[in-house]
Amino acid sequence: LFIVMASHCPDYKEIYRFDHFTELWEHYGYGGDMQELRLQEFGRVKGITYLDHAGTTLFPESQIKGFYQDIARNIYGNPHSLNPSSKLTHDTVERVRYRILEHFNTSPEEYTVIFTAGSTAALRLVADSFPWSPPAAEEPGSSFCYLTDNHTSVVGIRGAAAKLGATTLPVLPQHVETRARDAPWATGGDVCHLFCYPAQSNFSGRKYPLSYVKGIQGGRLYPACDRQGQWMVLLDAASFVSCSSLDLQECPADFIPISFYKIFGFPTGLGALLVRNRAAVLLRKGYFGGGTAAAYLAEEDYFVPASNVSSRFEDGTISFLDIISLHHGFDSLYRITGSMFKIQMHTFGLARYTYIHLSSLLHCNKQPVAQIYCENDFQDPSRQGAIINFNLLNSHGSVVGYSLVDRLASLFNIHVRTGCFCNTGACQIFLGISDQNIKHNLEAGHVCGDNIDLVDGRPTGSVRVSFGYMTTFEDCQNFLSFVVNCFVDKPLRMHEERLTHLKTADSSPRSPTSERHNAPDLTPSFTSNLNGEEGVIKNGQIKDSQTLTNIFIYPIKSCAAFEVSEWPLGNRGLQYDRTWMVVNENGVCLSQKREPRLCLIQPSISLASNMLHIQAPGMMSISMPLEDPLEMKTSQSKVCGDRVQTVDCGDEVASWFSGFLGKPCHLIRQSPESTRDMKKGLGQGMTSLSLVNEAQYLLINRASVALLQECISSRKINSIFGLGTFDALQLIKRFRANLVISGACPFEEDDWSNLKIGEMLFQVACRCARCHMICIDPETGSRTQEPLKSLTDFKKGKVSCSSATFMLSVGNSVHPDMPSI
């Protein structure tokens, strides 16, 4: 009968008008029509008011479509194998790790991403591997301290800590600052302590100061100020990062557990532990699974863990397809919203509007309709998240059980969350439930997660509504109208004084500094004296019958060569050589091994006009400046295991490459301020590299190529592989050398350690072990097994799969018998 009556109540949506809201809050939406966004990306939510984003947010359709297209186009193998599909998986997963760290404004130099089954699994990892120590005769043992307003999964660490002798100390939120001391204990020592607190309460949405991280680490705040030792901080960010930006430069917590479905809605069952590298070295691990060992013996207790932190703690094969899907989650999130700051302001505005109106509702006898559990008035998004926790009251002031509210909300297709939300500590504080009440409720049959909402007239839990980046004003209208229609004794009254609070909010907060663009510096020039011209190398420089015959530049890694007669040298080799590269939609480098048609893309450089020109068969040519605008998006990529800072070259050129290659891809360039050094053992001193694999220059000897061509001909397979028309230059192009010389004996260069070209001194780093790219015809993109097979047979017993090319760096160490060219 109540439900039927409620359905015939007048529509109270007119009370909550959109134009009033937008006049008072200018951060609604992301520059477009929110209804259109809902229709395009979240059409499945039509007719549903979804307000349980703290439980899990909703994924956009574009994220799933992008992920499907990705796995439909690519073969991703087990990353523990070494075949091409496995290498693609490894590179893509590493790119996702970098993107996660970039999202939190940090780098692999500071933090490591360890993938887990969720934030609870991440917390369990810390519990099992933290260096707990029992009390000793001369010093106390470890302490595990946590705010009482913490998720069950955090409090559960105390079981593992207690088994290893650590003491447990629950801390009331107000005591962190009120019990702080002016003269704290000195930090440091062998005993490690752990303090855990949430960046945002999953119960009330309260945001705790991120400054607590440094305060605890520095021993200034309670309980660190009372106990000597090395204090580490675990910041539970699972709830916080769903709608807020976390800057780990500002709050360098030692451990940060997160769950990705809270941010993206998909995938579920995947989380991560972000570990500060200085803390990772202290973690101890007992069990070891596949992929975590550098070496072990089956018949002896001998085990050496993997040196890489993430490999050491990721037992077995990671959920690599789910991890790869995160890339599409980031893409969709930033494309739709622009930034986490915009998400924070959008969701906070809706939560605040709902909070003010809900708290202003009065029954006909002027009794409040709702009791809201909050320690602030939603005035500051840095102190309050997009969560409202409450119980509804009848006109006599008694609590309406949350199960009734939940059932009625479901009938109106409104999705909320009820109970204690796995946060008993906060539930006790806000609802006034004593420890004895908890035990009494259990004896009365109430357990966590059931629908027993009242015991002896006292509430056992509450109702929570939470907002996501796709929540609309209409969702707030629907929820408030539901409360008015179903739970208010009419006529409705409003608390006018509370409503005036809507006009006092600051709607012009500043965006965090972590979202500002950094202006890159220009690349420094290389200065050297060569034939009186600064940093220039020329064809035709001859000495002792050896001549530099060709100079090739490869502006875009794995694309065609650009031949020049003279060219300036930079601090990374030939200027603009391998400065750009093509990456797939996940930011992984594309090479001719994966995409042979790259060899058909012909870049050229005009130093006079400062432009890079790009051509390809069947495509209109495209040009772009050699130096990128300062506003371009930066990211991290990987080349031969090295991290490099890169700059995206924009959507126009990305569309051009995608159209030619038939798959989504981008053109990126090495950031001017990015530094990458030659690996140790390949040369003397520190040599800066571009996006080359291992050395600044590749050199090839025409005499060696001629002998190889002879070997190919002697195999009598020219007609089979179409090699009969090969001339020396075509074969040379397959080896993708920068410098081509003539006049030396075949493979004489294998024994060189230094050489001189004109007046420029070069140090030979090593012989270059060429890959299968030499089997790709640079003029057609077709693949054969020649000349690699001939070369392998020819060099058997000397250098397996070595080629006629070898690597150089500019050096000052001169061999007395070095060749001059």
Sheet of strand 602-606, all strands in order from the earlier edge strand to the far edge = 602-606, 611-615, 622-625
Which among 749, 730, 727 is positioned nearest to 546, based on CA atoms? Answer: 749
Q: Token digits for 109?
A: 């130099």
Using N-to-C axis directions, what is the helix angle for 473-487 and 402-411, rounded to 10°?
Answer: 120
Conformation bin of residue 748: beta by default, left when phi > 0, alpha when psi is -120 to 50: alpha
* Joined tokens for residue 637: 């990529």
- Rounded to whole angstroms, the Cα distance separating 567 from 552 reads 9
Own/partner pairs, 730-733, CB within 8 angstroms, 24+ separation:
730/778, 730/779, 731/705, 731/787, 732/550, 732/700, 732/702, 732/705, 733/552, 733/561, 733/778
Q: Token digits for 279?
A: 């803390």
Long-range contacts of 250-254 (CB under 8 A, 24+ apart): 250/210, 250/514, 251/210, 251/211, 251/213, 251/214, 252/110, 252/213, 252/214, 252/217, 252/276, 253/213, 254/217, 254/278, 254/279
Q: Token digits for 225?
A: 């100020």
Which segments of 188-300 does DSSP mark as H helices, in order? 212-217, 261-264, 277-280
Question: What Rg, from alpha-carbon coordinates, does the chain have?
Answer: 32
Residues 6+ apart with CB under 8 A from 577: 553, 554, 555, 690, 692, 738
Work out whether strand 802-810 and strand 697-701 pair parallel, antiparallel, or are unpaired.
antiparallel
Of the residues 196, 251, 422, 649, only one is catalytic, namely 422
Q: Is 422 annotated as catalytic?
A: yes
* DSSP H stretches of helix in 361-499: 402-411, 424-431, 435-443, 473-487, 496-499
Residue 459, preceding peptide bond in cis (omega within 30° of 0): no
* Tokens standing for residue 613: 């020109």
Give one DSSP letter per residue of 114-168, joined into a string: EEESSHHHHHHHHHHHS------SSS---EEEEESS--HHHHTHHHHHHHTT-EE
End-to-end CA distance of the chain: 100
Are the CB atoms for 787 and 731 separated by under 8 Å?
Answer: yes
Question: For residues 97 and 90, is the Cβ–Cβ distance under 8 A?
Answer: no
| Residues with a known catalytic role | 422
